[in-house]
Structure 1
Amino acid sequence: MSEIISVITNDGRNIVGVLKGFDQATNIILDESHERVFSTKEGVQQHVLGLYIIRGDNIGVIGELDEVLDASLDFSKLRAHPLKPVVH
């Protein structure tokens, strides 16, 4: 496994990294990961996390990232509202 994935958590975080493993409860292990923090005032900030484990019950959405498209984006010019947490 070496796919780059994007994970949106139930608390509204967007974490991108290399999928290293998962289990039957959808707990996942990401390597070389970083969190993308969106803002309406400044560009997207990327906080390095490194090796990161996300519990399956905290995952809202998982998707494979298109590396070519992702590399072509200028995150310093992107503006967006942060995601709100999931309310049950």
Structure 2
Amino acid sequence: MANLQDYVDQHISVITNDGRVIIGVLKGYDQATNIILEHSVERIFRPTEGVESSELGLHIIRGDNIAIVGQIDVEEDESIDWSLVQANPILPVNYNLK
């Protein structure tokens, strides 16, 4: 996560270890990779209905719960009709290594 500085004030997508997909504008982060998102929205994927969006506003995500961070192409993202997208939710990360 050393390159998070490149994403400050940019729209990003975060996938958490528990399978949540949250998008927003990265406003800051710290040495533990805790991040602060502004104007954030959770996208809730379902296999039989379109994507539901839940407004979160200013949101903090703990660094130890972050699986993936990526920059969003805002123009491309806004061109997608998310209400038509159907997909299975992302499963949580399972650390049970039996």
Tell me which interval the TM-score lies in, with the shorter structure as reference length: over 0.9
- Whichever of the two has the greater Rg, that structure is 2
The C-alpha deviation readout for 1:26-57, integer Å capped at 9, x for no partner, is 00000000100001111000000000000000
What is the RMSD computed on CA atoms of the aligned residues?
A: 0.6
Shift of 1:60: 0.3
Flag as ranges the 4+ runs of structure 1 deviating above 3 A. none
Post-superposition Cα deviations, 1:11-37, rounded to whole Å, max 9, x if no partner, equal 000000000000111000000001000
Find 1:47's aligned residue among 54, 61, 76: 54
1:62 maps to 2:80: no
Scaled by the length of structure 1, the TM-score of the pair is 0.98
1:21 aligns with 2:41: no
Match of 1:33 in 2: 40
Give the fraction of aligned pairs with identical amino acids, expressed as a percent: 57
| Structure showing the higher helix proportion among its residues | 2
* Structure holding more strand per residue: 1
Q: Where does structure 1 lack aligned partners over 5 or more consecutive residues?
A: none
Which residue of 1 is the match for residue 80 of structure 2?
73
SS in 2 for 1:83: coil
Normalising by structure 2, we get a TM-score of 0.88
Q: What 5-or-longer segments of structure 2 have no aligned partner?
A: 1-7
